[in-house]
Amino acid sequence: MMMRLQFHPDVSNEIKASYKWYQQKVEGLGDDFLNELEAAYQAIVELPRTWPRFQNHFRRFLFSRFPFSVIYRIDGYSIYVVAVMRNSRKPGYWLDRT
């Protein structure tokens, strides 16, 4: 059975802000960011237990091109994405999103 993604409500704002920031730097870079994010989601859904544990019962998928991570936890047949985190941002800011 295919796992399904669920998202904390703040994830949408994180993605929008990052997209906007990259688009302002270089036209099309925001689209590249979204493409890498989509590829990350696909990889996580296909192999959710592949990425290392991070902060208790969460896991962390590191982007290859951008300094970001997807922070998620596995809950039955769901994958709950708690943050799309800029790696240089203060660590643990998202821990209360459980």
Domain that holds residue 79: 4-90
pLDDT one-digit tens code per residue, 34-71 = 999 999 999 999 999 999 998 888 999 999 999 999 99
Tell me whether residue 96 is in a domain. no
How many domains, in total, are found in the chain?
1
Residue 97 lies in a domain: no
Q: Which of 89, 97, 19, 22 is nearest to 57 (CA)?
A: 97
Residue 82 domain flag: yes
- Domain assignment present for 95: no
- pLDDT tens digits, 2-42: 789 999 999 999 999 999 999 999 999 999 999 999 999 99
In a domain, 74, yes or no: yes
How far from 84 is each of 1, 38, 70, CA to CA, in Å?
25, 12, 5
**Secondary element (H or E) of residue 6:** strand 4-7
Which residues lie below 8 Å from residue 9, measured CB to CB, with a gap of 6+?
none
Indicate whether 98 belongs to any domain: no
Q: Is the residue at 78 inside a domain?
A: yes
CATH of the domain at 15: 3.30.2310.20
The answer to whether position 60 is within a domain reads yes
